[in-house]
Amino acid sequence: MRSKIYLPGPHPLADPQRPWGRDALLSQRVNKENAMKRTLIRYKTKPEMAEKNAELVAAVFAELKAAQLDGVRYMTLRLEDDTFIHFVESATDDGSSPLPKLAAFQAFQSGIRDRCVEPPMPRGATVVGNYRMLGET
């Protein structure tokens, strides 16, 4: 007859959240998605400054493309009324965005309030639905 071994607390292998099971893989995916910082920034430029703003934004994307930064996704939209909408997703280890370190981004931020009728309004964002836009499935 085998004797029972009594452990203080629950059996470590009986844990449904064990580090090698299906639940752990799903948990890691959810944790990674939750760790991403998503920000939506909206502002409206003065009509005479809209093209200049668009050029500065284009320079940021050119530098991003050249630098091939990991941990950041970035998209900018320009509406018909010269409203700009930026969507930034950062997934760096420390939660910071690498964008402010780019020279083109610093140039873009310089004088942004002078170019605007409505100042930038950053807001945290949660993805409710996504179909092939953000590269997630």
Q: What is the pLDDT of residue 29?
A: 45
Q: Which long-range contacts (CB under 8 A, 24 or more apart) does 47-56 make?
A: 47/82, 49/114, 49/115, 49/116, 50/78, 50/82, 52/115, 53/84, 53/108, 53/112, 53/115, 54/78, 56/104, 56/107, 56/108
CATH architecture of the domain formed by 37-124:
2-Layer Sandwich (3.30)
pLDDT digits (tens, 9 = 90+) for 77-132: 999 999 999 999 988 777 678 899 999 999 999 999 999 999 999 999 998 998 87
Q: What is the pLDDT of residue 26?
A: 45
pTM over 0.75: no
For the chain, the domains span 37-124
Residue whose pair of structure tokens reads 């580090």 in the numeric block: 19
pLDDT digits (tens, 9 = 90+) for 50-73: 999 999 999 999 999 999 988 889
